[in-house]
Amino acid sequence: MSSPALVKGEPIFMKFEDFQGIEATHLDYKVSLEKEKPKSWLKSVVAFANTKGGHILFGVTNNGHDPIGLDDAQSTASKISELLTSRVEPPVRYTLTPFSSRIDDRLCIDLEVANGPHYPYYYVHEKTREIYVRRGDRSEIATVIEQNNLILKGMNKTYDSLPSSYNLSDVSFTLLAATFKKETGDDFDLTKDLVSMGFVTEDGIVTNAGLLLCDQGYLKQSKVVCTRWKGIEKGSVEGDALDDEEFTGVSLITLLANAEAFIRTNSKSPWSIRGMRREEKSDYPFKAVREVLVNALIHRDYQSIGAEVHVDMYDDRMEISSPGGMINGSRIQDLDLRRVPSMRRNEIISDTFGRLHYMERRGSGIRRILNSYVDYAEQPEFYSDEYFFIVTLPNRSEARSAQLELELEIGNAKLQQSSDKLQQSSDKPQLSLGDMQLSLGEKGKEELRKWLKCKAGRNFNKRNLEKLLELLEKYGSEYYFNRTAIANAFGISENAASRIVRKSVDCGIMRKEKNGEYYFNR
């Protein structure tokens, strides 16, 4: 940690503008140092240390983010250091740096907090001892699962390595041994390999990894729920289940096989096996299905009781969700999909599935999924939050080819050119559908804004709400639009536009009439 001298006349190398590109989840503002109730900002210190680090800017207004400076930056810095030492355990890594305000002779202070490595970090005072984490732009009390994960992180252990209440005599590993022999050609030595691979401790206690891969499947939250829905939405008028299965009480190896069999059975054009080769002219490519299911099983958060892996099949797509978001707290929708770092929540299970050739080398899984759809306009979608990880695979039999999509774009461009020429030649100006703007007036716009905010809740930031409002004013509830229109309006990729659509549908802002066509509900 460091606390630089903040004396008058010291050169200032930072400006408030230097913080403009930092996401809100890593940034807090305090107009002054609250000495009497320091918990208001110390909980953010703890949250930053427990997650991905962050900055607290003292001398900056929370509303408007105006850098007005502090009365005495030097004494403020000293008090910050004092409170960090007395109220946060273990000691966090931090840096105090002055930066200029808009008022002469007044400085602001940047308190930069690094994350880790001695998890978890606590806010402590008298009888209070609390763990905070960062959720969006808020610092909130960690859930029990989050606390446990932080404890494991601090111990440099994973959940699957922890010992259970079962002894070796309570379980069997017949399927694991047979599968190991089949896939690798090597014999599985139950007396040695169970210990060396982490399924059993040296004193004969079965680990959580052992419970997941034993024949009995004793870890009850290890479950896969599969449903084939009628139509394209769950819970719609025609959204009755055509088929459903729940698989539990078996090894992860069996869960994987059962889920794959369900998907194949409920596909109109399933993958077929000829000799040793799988035919890929199917609704869903086998490699992508296998990759998504494997990741759902090995990376799910098994501390989450009452949640399970779900496979939901619709006419136009399949969604596979698993409990637990990205391990590092990031959101996959914010990352470059071809450069997502390899992180493993359950080290032993991941290593075992790698040995069984159920998964390829680290970091290649998402690329394999994307490559399975290279010839299709509809692409797989990836979404995560702090609770779930969801992958959507389009039904290739329903999706348009990339070549057809290109031809349609060229055709639409030509049509637009013709429309523009016709409009220019007309005595009376005409609007194309794409340029149509509803004549609402200020009162009508305000009503739309209130409705949109009410539906959106906290699911959209201010910018995205304004963009949605623009689209709503443009299309109303009468005309459909697609993700391309959203991508163009927002200035984002079509994958990112799909995530906007997903959240809008979940909030009740939009509805999907058929594949690729959306309407506002207002």
67: which DSSP letter?
B
- Give the 3-state secondary structure of residue 2: strand
Backbone angles phi, psi at 153, to 5 degrees: -65, -40
Output the pLDDT for position 431.
Answer: 34
Output the pLDDT for position 62.
Answer: 87
Beta strands in 75-201 (DSSP E): 88-89, 94-100, 107-113, 122-125, 128-130, 132-135, 138-141, 163-167
CB 92, CB 115: distance < 8 Å = no
When pLDDT is cut at 50, 70 and 90, the band that residue 429 belongs to is very low
Q: How many residues does the chain have?
A: 522
- 488 or 431, which is more confident: 488
Output the pLDDT for position 479.
Answer: 78
Mean pLDDT, to the nearest integer, of 256-260?
A: 95
Structural domains of the chain, with CATH: 16-155 (3.30.950.30), 159-213 (no CATH), 223-394 (3.30.565.60), 440-522 (1.10.10.10)
How many whole angstroms from its chain centre is CA 312? 18
Closest CA to 296 of 319, 330, 277: 319
Output the pLDDT for position 423.
Answer: 53
Does the pLDDT value for residue 279 go beyond 70? no
Does the pLDDT value for residue 294 go beyond 60? yes
Name every residue whose Cβ is closer than 8 Å to that of residue 432 and which is 6 or more positions away in sequence.
416, 419, 420, 423
Q: For tokens 């829905």, name the residue.
A: 229
Output the pLDDT for position 281.
Answer: 76
Does the pLDDT value for residue 274 go beyond 50? yes
Across the chain, what does the average pLDDT equal?
83
Amino acid letter, 386: E
What is the four-CA torsion angle of 30, 32, 33, 36, rounded to 10 degrees?
-110
Q: Convert the pLDDT of each residue in 371-428 to its tens digit.
A: 888 878 788 999 988 788 999 999 988 865 544 444 445 555 555 555 555 455 444 4
Q: In angstroms, how far apart are the furthest CA atoms of the chain? A: 91
Backbone angles phi, psi at 478, to 5 degrees: -95, -30
- 430 or 144, which is more confident: 144
Output the pLDDT for position 427.
Answer: 45
Top mean pLDDT of 265-274, 279-288, 503-512 is at 503-512
Q: Convert the pLDDT of each residue in 431-446 to its tens digit.
A: 333 333 444 456 667 7
The vertex-461 CA angle with 457 and 466, nearest 5°, equals 95
Closest CA to 391 of 312, 507, 459: 312
Q: Convert the pLDDT of each residue in 345-356 to its tens digit.
A: 899 999 999 899
- 367 or 90, which is more confident: 90
Does the pLDDT value for residue 101 go beyond 70? yes
- 389 or 343, which is more confident: 389
Closest CA to 248 of 218, 273, 227, 271: 218
- 443 or 462, which is more confident: 462
Q: Cis peptide leading into 120, omega within 30 of 0?
A: yes
Mean pLDDT, to the nearest integer, of 198-215?
A: 94
Q: For tokens 């066509």, name the residue.
A: 517
Q: Among 272-286, 315-329, 420-434, 451-465, whose mean pLDDT is lowest?
A: 420-434
Show the tokens assigned to 306. Answer: 């009452």
When pLDDT is cut at 50, 70 and 90, the band that residue 449 belongs to is confident
Give the span between the Cα atoms of 262 and 390, in whole angstroms: 18
When pLDDT is cut at 50, 70 and 90, the band that residue 99 belongs to is very high
Residue 471: count of CB within 10 angstroms of its CB = 21
When pLDDT is cut at 50, 70 and 90, the band that residue 31 belongs to is very high
Name every residue whose Cβ is closer than 8 Å to that of residue 336 and which is 6 or more positions away in sequence.
none
Output the pLDDT for position 169.
Answer: 94
Show the tokens assigned to 162. Answer: 């922890």
Q: For tokens 């209130």, name the residue.
A: 450
β-pair partners for 310: 225, 321
Give the span between the Cα atoms of 338 and 363, in whole angstroms: 9
β-pair partners for 124: 129
Mean pLDDT, to the nearest integer, of 356-373?
A: 78
Q: Convert the pLDDT of each residue in 162-185 to its tens digit.
A: 999 999 999 999 999 999 999 988
Residue 441 backbone class (left: φ over 0; alpha: ψ -120 to 50; beta: rest): left
Top mean pLDDT of 235-244, 335-344, 368-377 is at 368-377
Looking only at the bridges linking them, the beta strands covering 107-113 and 94-100 are antiparallel
Does the pLDDT value for residue 515 go beyond 60? yes
Top mean pLDDT of 33-37, 435-439, 455-459 is at 33-37
When pLDDT is cut at 50, 70 and 90, the band that residue 222 belongs to is very high
Output the pLDDT for position 420.
Answer: 55
Output the pLDDT for position 306.
Answer: 82
Q: Among 65-69, 114-118, 337-341, whose mean pLDDT is lowest?
A: 337-341
Show the tokens assigned to 94. Answer: 């931090």
Question: What percent of the chain is modeled with pLDDT above 90?
Answer: 41
Q: For tokens 């209070």, name the residue.
A: 128
CB 200, CB 168: distance < 8 Å = yes
Mean pLDDT, to the nearest integer, of 358-363?
A: 67
Give, in order, the Cα–Cα distances in Å from 464 to each of 330, 344, 407, 476, 496: 20, 32, 30, 17, 12
